[in-house]
Amino acid sequence: MENNMKNDNIVVIGSTNTDMTIKSQHLPLPGETVLGGKFMMDPGGKGANQAVAAARLGGKVSFIGKVGDDMFGAQTLRQFKEEHINAEYLGVCQGVPSGVALINVDEKGENSISVAPGANFCLLSTDIDDASSKIDEAGIVLMQLEVPLDTIDYASQKAKDAGAYVILNPAPAPKEPLPDSLLSSLDLIIPNETEANIITGLPTDTDDQVKEAILAIVAKGVKSVIVTMGSRGAMAYQDGEFFSVPAFKVKALDTTGAGDTFCGALCVALAEGKSLREAIEFGCKASSIAVTRMGAMQAAPYRQELTS
């Protein structure tokens, strides 16, 4: 065991959406209709994608979140059962639609996404209290920002008090500064370079700039930082040292959810006692497979694909 995880239980607190994706030649400009494309509808949402990625790679995963009382919520629940994710604390919010994401993907695999959060925004601090026995059992708690920020702030402190290793993937990038109480509860934060730029207000175009942004985040009390940079790999900071991990070179078909697969995979490796560097390498490998396939959750690889 190269880290101090309490145990290997992974608890994901976050969003579930239904992704409606169109792959076409280019992303529509404002006012433009792009004709000709392929449509897919699948379960998604950053929280759900991360949970599924972790479960497919062998993680023991529980999920805390909210769906609406509609067919999309029911489909999410079925998907979690199929993926062997404990959904005891996936609540149903009456009279509110489940989250939906409208996604465009272009021929280079780049995307644009709009999310109607629906029931995801019904996840409150009281739901975190209701699930406190699950949080107490967690070795790792993994969160994102598609549910209310107040809830994540509250959950991070609960998780820290319970002795879990607390991770935030600050996606989508927050419009308001992240509270100091949240940042100081985190063992690890995993922004991409755009999110690191928004969180710190600092440029993140070069490796040196990314390092400066990381130091600004560390100054707020976060212990370790990983900035994911797509095809440029990842830059990490732990115990006063920087290190970078290169990306695998692949031809991307759809980059949607690549960061989610990375986060889920990283948690599995950490839960198995791997070092942060080994966990990042495992995350990069998993996400390099995911981007060669269409979809977000559907693209997440299974364990045997990483070992073969």
Residue 101 Cβ vs ligand RIB, minimum distance, rounded to whole Å: 3
User: How far apart, in whole angstroms, are the C-alpha atoms of residue 154 and residue 56?
Assistant: 28
Cα angle: 44, vertex 45, 46; to 5 degrees = 125
Distances (CA, A) of 233 to 208, 287, 288, 289: 14, 11, 10, 14
Q: Which is nearer to ligand RIB, 54 or 101 (CB)?
A: 101
Q: Which is nearer to ligand RIB, 286 or 296 (CB)?
A: 296
User: How far apart, in whole angstroms, are the C-alpha atoms of residue 227 and residue 236?
Assistant: 6
Residue 133 Cβ vs ligand RIB, minimum distance, rounded to whole Å: 28
Q: Which amino acid is at 264?
A: G
Q: Which is nearer to ligand RIB, 38 or 126 (CB)?
A: 38
Q: How many CB atoms lie within 10 A of CB 133?
A: 10
User: How far apart, in whole angstroms, are the C-alpha atoms of residue 101 and residue 273?
Assistant: 34
- Asked if residue 116 lies in contact with residue 100, where contact means CB atoms within 8 angstroms, the answer is yes
Nearest to 231 by CA among 212, 264, 255: 255
Residue 115 Cβ vs ligand RIB, minimum distance, rounded to whole Å: 5
Residue 48 DSSP SS3: helix
Residues 6+ apart with CB under 8 A from 43: 16, 17, 18, 19, 75, 76, 79, 297
Binder of ligand RIB out of 27, 34, 102, 113 (CB under 6 A): 113
Q: What are phi and psi of 8, to 5 degrees?
A: -100, 20
Structure tokens at 122: 């019904």
Cα angle: 193, vertex 163, 66; to 5 degrees = 65
208 noted as active-site residue: no
Number of chain positions touching ligand RIB (CB under 6 A)? 14
User: Scanning residues 251 to 270, which ones bind ligand RIB (CB under 6 A)?
Assistant: 256-257, 260
Per-residue binder mask for ligand RIB (CB under 6 A), 6-35, x = binder:
-----------x-x----------------
Per-residue binder mask for ligand RIB (CB under 6 A), 84-103, x = binder:
-----------------x--
Residue 290 Cβ vs ligand RIB, minimum distance, rounded to whole Å: 11
Residue 284 Cβ vs ligand RIB, minimum distance, rounded to whole Å: 17
- Report the Cα 43 to chain-centroid distance in Å: 14
Per-residue binder mask for ligand RIB (CB under 6 A), 156-195, x = binder:
----------------------------------------
Per-residue binder mask for ligand RIB (CB under 6 A), 45-74, x = binder:
xx--x-------------------------
Binding window for ligand RIB (CB under 6 A); candidates: 42-50, 85-93, 185-193, 230-238: 42-50
Binder of ligand RIB out of 62, 67, 128, 146 (CB under 6 A): 146
| Residue showing the smallest CB distance to ligand RIB in the complex | 44
* Contact footprint for ligand RIB (CB under 6 A): 17, 19, 44-46, 49, 101, 113, 115, 146, 256-257, 260, 296
Residues designated catalytic: 260
